[in-house]
Chain A
């Protein structure tokens, strides 16, 4: 008897989303990366070297911290997965180290990357210093201005930072410029994409190397609660790598609700936001069929968010699939809500979150106001807020709360 089987899904698709919409000249480079990724995954020496770097250089495992004061009395117990304590200041370093090993494995002698908030750029720059590989970072001019400390960090690590003035001068324009560079340089250069967006295999590869966040958090949560799983896991979404990293370890736990929090900017109705799942439509951007911010003719719209890391008019294609299947629930938090959560966590816990991560905390604050049933929430504190201090200070002086 033969058992009918569904046709094997295209490896680069999540449902109908994803793919490789890039100039033909980049397809062989993506094939080469895909092969290196699959070989490395099966290579114990690669896994051992990566594990050693994550432990002894980057500082894994990162702690799981139960909040003492934040939302105390609301019925919500908040546990923070402390990616803010990872070397480099955010979760980005996890997968950057893995891709640096892949770059070396492929014999590449130069690495390029795009960055929004600068956290990915910092991670690539510090890894470039460690591996002695020259690094060039493309960063929108607007982002260079609002995340100046990270520009300085990248330069300290010896990276070249190119300020991109085209278009909205933010993350999407930096990614355009990195793709253009790669179309000319793929022979000796690896393009180290920083999130679960872009053409296949990046969404799969970056998601897999970020999964360590969720795997660790799951074990730590079980330990600290005497065997319970979280009721909800909450993470902010720009491209979506920190969210996918923590969600992937809980996808098979039906009682664990998963919540992604997008950048609501000035509010969905204002049109000034970065909420592509809540407010976007299907389209093609940066190599993938996904949800994007576009006008009816197909011109890409400028996103808006107080946090540079969420200021992107696209989202990783796997998130769109998880949205469609209903496994992950997508919410948003506005600029003001994120700022309020930023200040509250600092005051309550002695922790300054990245403005990106503050969106996930803002969702928790909003939930707390609904007088919810007691619940344990696991929040991915994806990065620390040092990079945001000057920007937030200027904002607070302009508009005191």
Chain B
């Protein structure tokens, strides 16, 4: 049984949704990255960590800037995976997902890349610029290495694509609640209950909603529509210079993951 499965089982018993902070590995610098991620942990049910990339086309300005700052400060794949290893050693039960753009997987080759990721202790890999139709070789390499392959389900995907996502995906399904890229500029959108119903009927892994989640109301709305949790990224980075504000923001988001008895 995987860490994700155990997490979702436990959250179901506790009648809660998952709060999954996203952080850029190596942000703000490789040396300070671990401290930044640890600040997010008190309220984290799992982590989604991005390896910084020069051309992150699925990300809005906040995560782009954080990625470029990390690279300029010397972030590399090795230093990012070393941070994952440290987190794994200290938090043996915490599910850790990796978000990585395709060319970073392509250069070493998927087999070698996934072996390194598995050795570092991560549980899953998500490639935002590899859609389901191109995902076959990557999913196979992930399974070979014992990693879950997370796929993205957007609101406009036809049912055939959702079926492929359900078949290929594992760990969790990254449900995008609205069009566009990551960031708080355009709000969170309202995920459609239908999308969750379809994914569930197709046997897809539990759905976590990302893109634009920045308030407790966003969290409650996502859970009410059928999400199993939320991923929050840009709104955390926006508060990175104010630890007290970050802590109260995370606390409020975590409170909103409690499902009200209905």
A contact residues vs B (CB 8 Å cutoff): 19-28, 166-167, 172-173, 176, 179-180, 183-187, 282-287, 289, 292, 294, 296-300
Contact = CB atoms under 8 A, between A and B. Distances in A.
Interface of B, secondary structure class, is: loop
A180 B60 contact: yes
Contact of A298 (B53, B128, B155, B179): B53
Contact of A180 (B133, B153, B157, B181): B181
Contacts of B179: 25, 183-187
B91 interface: no
Contact of B106 (A284, A287, A299): A284
Given A27-B161, A183-B58, A284 B180 contact: no
A25 B130 contact: no
A285 B132 contact: no
B139 to A, nearest CB: 14
19 contacts: A20-B133, A21-B102, A22-B129, A22-B131, A23-B129, A24-B131, A24-B157, A173-B55, A179-B57, A180-B57, A180-B58, A180-B181, A183-B179, A284-B102, A294-B103, A294-B107, A298-B103, A298-B104, A298-B108
Given A21-B130, A23-B152, A183-B179, A297 B58 contact: no
Given A21-B102, A28-B157, A297-B76, A167 B131 contact: no
A298 B107 contact: yes
A353 to B, nearest CB: 31
B103 A25 contact: no
B181 A184 contact: yes
B212 to A, nearest CB: 11
Top 9 A-B residue pairs of the complex, sorted by shortest distance between their CB atoms: A184-B180, A298-B104, A25-B154, A298-B107, A298-B103, A24-B131, A284-B102, A299-B54, A300-B54
Contacts of A287: 129
Contact of B55 (A184, A185, A285): A285
Among B57, B68, B105, residue most surrounded by chain A Cβ atoms (within 10 Å) = B57
Nearest to B156: A28
A283 B161 contact: no
A53 to B, nearest CB: 32
B18 to A, nearest CB: 21
B64 interface: yes
A284 B101 CA distance: 9
B64 A166 contact: yes
Nearest to B53: A299
A284 B157 contact: no
B104 A23 contact: no
Nearest to A287: B129
B7 interface: no
Interface string B164-203: 0100000000001001110000100000000000000000
B77 A284 contact: no
Contact of B129 (A21, A185, A300): A21
A20 B106 CA distance: 14
A23 B58 contact: yes
B134 A20 contact: yes
Main secondary structure of the interface of A (DSSP, over half): mixed
A292 B159 CA distance: 34
Contact of A25 (B106, B134, B176): B176
B132 A24 contact: yes
A183 B55 contact: no
B158 interface: yes
A176 B57 CA distance: 5
Nearest to A177: B57
Interface in B69-115: 71, 76-77, 101-108
A185 B180 CA distance: 7
Contacts of A21: 102, 129-131, 134
A297 B57 contact: no
A166 B154 CA distance: 26
Given A184-B179, A283-B103, 9 more contacts: A22-B131, A24-B131, A24-B132, A166-B68, A180-B60, A183-B180, A286-B57, A294-B107, A298-B101
B209 interface: no
B232 interface: no
Contact of A167 (B54, B134, B153): B54
A24 B181 contact: no
A303 to B, nearest CB: 12
Contacts of A25: 152, 154-157, 176, 179
A20 B134 CA distance: 7
B151 interface: yes
A283 B106 contact: yes
Contacts of B68: 166-167
Given A21-B102, A180-B181, A27 B133 contact: yes
B182 to A, nearest CB: 10
Contacts of A285: 55, 103
Nearest to B64: A166
Nearest to B157: A24
A298 B106 contact: yes
Contacts of B76: 297
A34 B129 CA distance: 19
Contacts of A300: 54-55, 103
A373 B155 CA distance: 62
Contacts of A298: 53, 77, 101, 103-108
A186 B77 CA distance: 33
A292 B104 CA distance: 13
A238 B104 CA distance: 23
